[in-house]
Structure 1
Amino acid sequence: MGSPTKPARTALVLGGGISGLLAARELAAAGLTVTVLEATQNWGGCVGSHVVAGLTLDSGAESFATRSSAVADLAGELGLAEKIVEPRPGGAWVQLPGGARELPKTGVLGIPANPWDPEVRRTLGFAGSLRASLDRFLPASLGASEDVTSVSALVRARMGRRVLERLVAPVVGGVHSADPGLLDVDMVAPGLRAGIRRHGSLAAAVAAQRRSPAAPETPVPPSGTSGSPDAGRQPLAKAGSAVAGLEGGMHTLVSALLDDLQKRGVTLLGGSAATLVARTSDGWHVTAAGATYDGGLLVVGLPGPAAVGLLLPAVPALAGRSPESGPDVRLVTLVVDVPELDRRPRGTGILVAPQAPGIEAKALTHATAKWDWLAAAAGPGTHVLRLSYGRREGSAVAGIPAAGPAPASDAELLAAALRDASALLEVQLEGKDVVDWDVVRWEGALPFAAVGHRARVAEVRDLCAEQPGLAIVGGWVAGNGLAAVVSDTRREIQKMLG
Structure 2
Amino acid sequence: MAVSPASSSTEQSVLVVGGGIAGLLSARMLARKGFKVTVVEGRAHLGGAVGSHQLAGMVLDAGAESFATRSTVVSDLLQELGLKDKIVLPNSLGSWLYLPTGAKPSPSTGLMGIPGSFDDPALKATLSASGIARARMDKFLPASVGAKAKTLGELVRARMGQQVLDNLVAPVVSGVHSVHPDKLDVDVVTPGLKDAMLRLGSLAAAAGSIRKAAPAGSAVAGIEGGMNQLSEALVQDLQRMHVRIMTGFNVIAVDRDPVTGEWTLIQRRSDVGARPIAISAPNLVMATDGPTAVRILGSHLPAHAVPSIKAGPEIALVSLVVDKPELDRAPRGTGLLISDQVTNVRAKALTHASAKWQWVADKLGEGRHVVRLSYGRSSDANSPLSEVALHDDQLITLALHDASKLLGTNISPKQLVDADVVRWQGAMPAPKAGHKEKIVAFRQSLDQLEGVCAVGAWLSGTGLVAVTKDTHAVIEAYADELLNHH
- TM-score between both structures, scaled by the size of structure 2: 0.92
d(CA) in 1 for partners of 2:377 and 2:8?
49
d(CA) in 1 for partners of 2:466 and 2:369?
31
Q: Which residue of 2 aligns with 1:245?
A: 222
Q: Residue 68 of structure 1: which of 67, 71, 86 is its match? A: 71
- Work out the percentage of aligned pairs sharing the same amino acid: 47
d(CA) in 1 for partners of 2:294 and 2:59?
35
Establish whether residue 313 from structure 1 lines up as the match of residue 295 from structure 2: no
Bigger Cα displacement from structure 2, 309-318 vs 423-432: 309-318
Q: Residue 40 of structure 2: which of 37, 41, 46 is its match? A: 37
Question: Which structure 1 residue ranges, 5 or more long, are not aligned?
Answer: 215-236, 397-401
d(CA) in 2 for partners of 1:456 and 1:160?
30
Q: Which residue of 2 aligns with 1:90?
A: 93
Deviation at 1:213, TM superposition (A): 4.2
Q: Which residue of 2 aligns with 1:487?
A: 469
Deviation at 1:246, TM superposition (A): 0.7
Deviation at 1:394, TM superposition (A): 4.8
Deviation at 1:319, TM superposition (A): 6.7
d(CA) in 2 for partners of 1:287 and 1:356?
47
Q: Residue 314 of structure 2: which of 316, 328, 335 is its match? A: 328
Q: Which residue of 2 aligns with 1:279?
A: 256
Q: Residue 378 of structure 1: which of 357, 361, 364 is its match? A: 364
CA deviation map 1:126-158 (0-9, x unaligned): 222221121122222222235xx1111011011
Q: Is the CA contact 1:323–1:456 (under 8 Å) kept in the aligned structure 2?
A: no
d(CA) in 1 for partners of 2:90 and 2:314?
27
d(CA) in 1 for partners of 2:42 and 2:384?
34
Alignment map for 1:95-494 (pairs within 5 Å): 95-146=98-149, 149-214=150-215, 237-238=216-217, 241-280=218-257, 281-289=260-268, 290-317=276-303, 321-394=307-380, 405-406=386-387, 408-494=390-476
Q: Which residue of 2 aligns with 1:16?
A: 19
d(CA) in 2 for partners of 1:12 and 1:30?
15
Deviation at 1:87, TM superposition (A): 0.4
Q: Is the CA contact 2:313–2:381 (under 8 Å) kept in the aligned structure 1?
A: no
Deviation at 1:18, TM superposition (A): 0.3
Deviation at 1:405, TM superposition (A): 3.0
Bigger Cα displacement from structure 2, 280-289 vs 169-178: 280-289
CA deviation map 1:11-50 (0-9, x unaligned): 1100000000001011111110100000011101111110
Q: Which residue of 2 aligns with 1:219?
A: none
The 3 A distance-change label for structure 1 pair 283 and 143 is farther
Deviation at 1:296, TM superposition (A): 2.5
Q: Is the CA contact 1:183–1:450 (under 8 Å) kept in the aligned structure 2?
A: yes
Q: Is the CA contact 2:319–2:372 (under 8 Å) kept in the aligned structure 1?
A: yes
Q: Is the CA contact 1:352–1:362 (under 8 Å) kept in the aligned structure 2?
A: yes
Q: Is the CA contact 2:321–2:371 (under 8 Å) kept in the aligned structure 1?
A: yes
d(CA) in 1 for partners of 2:359 and 2:115?
30
Establish whether residue 27 from structure 1 lines up as the match of residue 63 from structure 2: no
- TM-score between both structures, scaled by the size of structure 1: 0.90
Deviation at 1:313, TM superposition (A): 2.4
Letter in 1 for 2:332: R
Q: Is the CA contact 2:306–2:442 (under 8 Å) kept in the aligned structure 1?
A: no
Deviation at 1:353, TM superposition (A): 0.9
Establish whether residue 56 from structure 1 lines up as the match of residue 56 from structure 2: no
Deviation at 1:314, TM superposition (A): 2.4
Letter in 2 for 1:168: V
